[in-house]
C-alpha cells in the first residue's frame, strides 16, 4: 500500500516530462529557430525562451546558431585596372538575421552553416574581382597614403557583398570584412618592383625639380631685395656725402679768410687723434703736428710774437 502513491507520483512525473519533451522546446539566447508543419516553415523564432509545438511528425523545430560566424576564402587571383594579377585572401564575419529566409535556402544541406559559407565564398569571389578591377596596384601597396585607399577598397568589397546577399534573400547579414593577405604571382613580382622603382624615380625627379624651382625663386627674391637695399643705401650715402661736401664748402670759405686758423685746427685735430689712447710718444718737435709742443715763439693765429 505504501508503494502505490510513490508509483503514482513517479508515473505522473514521467508523463509530465514526456509531455514537455513532446510539446515544449527551448530557444537559447545564442540561437534562432524555425518551426515547420508537415515540412513547411510556419513559425520563425528570434527571441530566446520556451515555446510550444505539436509533436513530430506534425511539427519539427530547427535550431540555428545566430552568433557571428567567421571564415576566410581561398587565395584567389584578380586583375587590377593596370593589368596586374593580384592574389588576395579575405576574411568575413556573418550571422543569420532572418531565419525564415535562411531556412528554405540552406536546410536541405546536411550542414546549413557550411553551405551558407560556400555560397558566401562564391559571392565574395565575384565582389573581389569587381572591386579589384576598378583599382590600380598602387592603391593596394602604396606606402604614401596612410592606408586610406586600402580601407576604402575593403569597404567597397563589403558593400558589394552585402548588396549581393540581400539581392539573393539569404537571410544573412555581413558584419565585417577585411583583406587578410595580398600576394603577387612570382612571375610578375620583378616587373612590378621595376615599375614601382620607375614610378618612384619619376616622383623623386619631380620633387627635385619643384625644389630647385622654389630655390631659384627664393634666390631671385633675395637678390632683388639686396639690390633694392643697396640702391637705397647708395642713395642715402650720396645724400650724406652731398651734405658733407656742402658743410665742407662752408668751412672752406671760413678757412680761406684765415689760413693760419685752418692750419692750426688741422694740426690740433691730428694731434688729438694721436693722443686718444694712452701711449708714450717719441717725436720730433719740428715735425707737424708735434711742432705745437715747441715753445710759444710762434703765433699760430697769425705771425711771430
CATH number of domain containing 117: 3.30.479.30
What pLDDT band is residue 159 in, cutting at 50, 70 and 90? very high
Asked whether residue 79 falls in the same domain as residue 175, the answer is yes
Place of cell 510556419: 42
Residue 82 to residue 301: CA distance in whole angstroms: 102
- Residue 160: the pLDDT is 94
Q: What is the DSSP letter of 58?
A: T
Looking at residues 261-265, what average pLDDT do you find? 66
β 69-72/85-96 pair status: antiparallel
* Residue 127 neighbours by CB under 8 Å, 6+ apart: 157, 160, 161, 164
The total number of structural domains in the chain stands at 4
**Cell numbers representing residue 175 in the block:** 558584419
H/E stretch holding 89: strand 85-96
Expressed in angstroms, the distance from the first to the final Cα of the chain is 176
Domain enclosing residue 211, as ranges: 201-257
Question: What's this model's pTM, rounded to 2 decimal places?
Answer: 0.57
Asked whether residue 124 falls in the same domain as residue 30, the answer is no
Cβ(35)–Cβ(25) below 8 Å? no
Asked whether residue 209 falls in the same domain as residue 107, the answer is no
Asked whether residue 283 falls in the same domain as residue 237, the answer is no
Asked whether residue 56 falls in the same domain as residue 12, the answer is yes
- For 222, counting Cβ atoms within 10 Å of its Cβ (0-12 exposed, 13-18 middle, 19+ buried), the class is exposed
- 196 within some domain: no
pLDDT surpassing 70 at residue 283: no
Place of cell 518551426: 35
Picking from 38, 65, 92, the residue at the C-terminal end of a domain is 65
Cβ(112)–Cβ(119) below 8 Å? no
What pLDDT band is residue 146 in, cutting at 50, 70 and 90? low
Picking from 184, 218, 244, the residue at the C-terminal end of a domain is 184
Beta bridge partners of 94: 69, 174
pLDDT surpassing 50 at residue 137: yes
pLDDT digits (tens, 9 = 90+) for 61-116: 888 888 999 999 988 888 888 888 888 999 999 999 999 899 888 888 788 899 99
- 96 within some domain: yes
- 277 within some domain: yes
Amino acid at each position: 500500500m505504501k508503494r502505490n502513491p510513490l508509483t503514482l507520483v513517479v508515473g505522473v512525473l514521467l508523463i509530465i516530462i514526456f509531455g514537455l519533451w513532446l510539446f515544449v522546446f527551448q530557444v537559447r539566447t545564442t540561437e534562432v529557430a524555425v518551426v515547420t508543419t508537415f515540412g513547411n516553415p510556419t513559425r520563425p523564432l528570434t527571441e530566446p525562451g520556451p515555446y510550444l509545438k505539436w509533436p513530430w511528425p506534425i511539427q519539427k523545430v530547427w535550431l540555428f546558431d545566430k552568433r557571428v560566424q567567421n571564415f576566410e576564402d581561398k587565395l584567389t587571383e584578380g586583375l587590377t585596372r593596370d593589368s596586374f594579377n593580384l592574389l588576395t585572401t579575405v576574411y568575413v564575419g556573418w550571422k543569420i538575421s532572418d531565419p525564415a529566409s535562411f531556412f528554405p535556402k540552406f536546410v536541405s544541406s546536411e550542414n546549413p552553416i557550411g553551405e551558407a559559407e560556400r555560397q558566401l565564398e562564391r559571392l565574395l569571389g565575384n565582389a573581389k574581382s569587381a572591386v579589384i578591377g576598378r583599382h590600380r596596384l598602387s592603391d593596394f601597396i602604396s606606402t604614401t597614403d596612410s592606408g586610406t585607399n586600402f580601407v576604402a577598397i575593403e569597404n567597397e568589397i563589403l558593400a558589394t557583398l552585402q548588396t549581393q546577399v540581400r539581392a539573393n534573400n539569404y537571410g544573412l547579414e555581413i558584419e565585417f570584412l577585411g583583406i587578410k593577405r595580398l600576394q603577387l604571382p612570382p612571375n610578375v613580382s620583378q616587373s612590378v618592383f621595376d615599375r614601382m622603382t620607375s614610378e618612384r624615380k619619376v616622383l623623386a625627379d619631380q620633387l627635385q625639380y619643384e625644389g630647385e624651382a622654389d630655390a631659384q625663386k627664393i634666390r631671385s627674391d633675395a637678390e632683388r631685395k639686396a639690390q633694392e637695399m643697396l640702391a637705397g643705401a647708395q642713395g642715402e650715402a650720396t645724400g650724406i656725402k652731398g651734405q658733407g661736401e656742402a658743410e665742407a664748402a662752408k668751412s672752406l670759405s671760413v678757412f680761406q679768410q684765415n689760413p693760419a686758423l685752418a692750419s692750426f685746427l688741422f694740426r690740433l685735430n691730428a694731434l688729438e687723434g694721436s693722443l686718444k689712447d694712452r701711449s708714450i710718444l717719441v717725436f720730433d718737435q719740428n715735425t707737424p703736428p708735434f711742432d705745437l709742443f715747441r715753445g710759444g715763439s710762434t703765433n699760430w693765429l697769425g705771425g711771430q710774437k
